[in-house]
Chains A and B, each alone.
Chain A
Amino acid sequence: MSAALEVRGVNKRFGGLQALDDVNLTVEEGRIHAIIGPNGAGKSTLLNCFVGRLTPDSGSVMFHGQSLLGIQPHQINQAGVSRVFQTPEIFSDLTVLENVMIPALAHRDGIFEFNAFKPMSRETDIRQRAVDVLEDLGMADKIDMVAASMSRGDKRRLEMAMGLVQDPRLLLLDEPTAGMSRADTNNTIDVLRHIGDSRGITMIIIEHDMHVVFSLADRISVLAQGTVIVEDAPENIKGNAKVQEAYLGGAH
């Protein structure tokens, strides 16, 4: 099995704070890789380095042999990396369906396409793709709602639909179930599991909810104080002394 994402020696400083300290990470293709760790461990910062929101001070981030550093966010996305944000980032003035059709169009047409005269109503393929994904996520009845008027949990699911509709090679999920009910959480786990199995999308999940982590992850990295302290299979993580120390230390 080959590596989808290779992170080598990534450092990031904010003023006096060493947010990321020599992070190394290898994510195998087709796997679901969870990154856990106490608050402030640098999980979201690390994810931001993968999508071009932040640029590391040093180190390399290679995606299937292509560097993700120094290129624009939209180029990273076009390379096949989609991200689901922690706080829902959606097009709130638009409808749910439009929210999903936009990334679908981006996937098909690339970073810019001057298709100013083709009516949206003729984009039946794109529409069908969007509807399918929304159905998978149990949102088929909400496609004509304005995105802003949805509950927080639904916004998260919409975000996920926006990521999935692009058929990414790597999907980055930043706390995908935060703010969801237990039932919705379980549903989301099923959806992600199903997608992981059927489409073989590589995923990186940042999550606090251990139930989600252990239901999904093939591999877990534990981040503490900006560095990876342990990387192992889920069954070996639970009993790991270093992990317990990191969490307890973080809890003080």
Chain B
Amino acid sequence: MELSALLLQVLNGLDKGSAYALIALGLTLIFGTLGVVNFAHGALFMIGAFCAVTLQKLLTLSIITLDETKTDFLGNPQKIRTPYVEEWFGTAAGQAIIDWAVPLAILFAIPIMLIIGFIMERGLIKHFYKRPHADQILVTFGLAIVLQEIIKAYFGANQIPVPAPEAFIGSFDFGQLVGFDPGQVMYPYWRIVYFLFAMLIIALVFAFLQFTTFGMVVRAGMADRETVGLLGINIDKRFTIMFGIAAAVAGLAGVMYTPINPPNYHMGMDFLVISFVVVVVGGMGSLGGAVLAGFILGILESFASMREVIEFIPGINQVVIYLAAIVILLARPRGLLGRKGVMES
């Protein structure tokens, strides 16, 4: 096995690891602050992705004009579609806006995800704080089904491709940068963007918790909710906001993931199961653990899909995450960075 191949696998693992880490981070925030196991979190990721789809559809809404000089194959005048944005901002600017639909969708998705998060928490989740974890799992699981069925009803069951901006199409020769021959370690630009974006979001969340008073109270609440409540601080309001933030993090992870993997309505469930494994492997309630486990499992999965590895252990690529989860949980009862007494009864 060559060194360049190893490097390529690490890189390949980063983008999936980033998605796992972002979803797991949100899950852990919700679990740590509200004590709620949110099975609808994957659906939030999926809704984020569909924010990008929606924005792209909105941007390409077109005026239809008839060009009498040309005819289509039926002999009718040719219809010309001109997106409104091109009409308003001129052709060049309009095309650029459409081209940058995915990054623009970040701005579009943040308010939407926050609102969805607030509604979810106020309308449903808050009634489940004191209910057993099994009830929380079931009600959010039901919600996840409802959300994905709604998306399916509007957008259909097929994957919807949403391209990255043209500037990011193509690959970066990462190998050459570190001294390999050209063309050996090619890495798509957008995946670099995704990784950097994920790191930025993770850093922002940690900084927010670490350096703001708001974050300090939330962290204190995560450690000991009752005591902080006794101090006369309105924890509930802050926790609602945290839920919104967690929803936004999942949503943004979804928005940016669309060029890597065209979204469909059940992508949330697919990611949720693995994200839960990630959270548990990281240790329930540990933010750092969630991020760490996300990247470890993402990279591990990528390594296991190497041809050399599969030839050696057939099928390992399918099971490596679960296998790792089993080994880690047996060796470390509370996951990588878990605290004692969380979620054990």
Q: Do chains A and B touch in the complex (CB under 8 A)?
A: no
Hey, which bits of chain A sit against chain B, CB under 8 A?
none
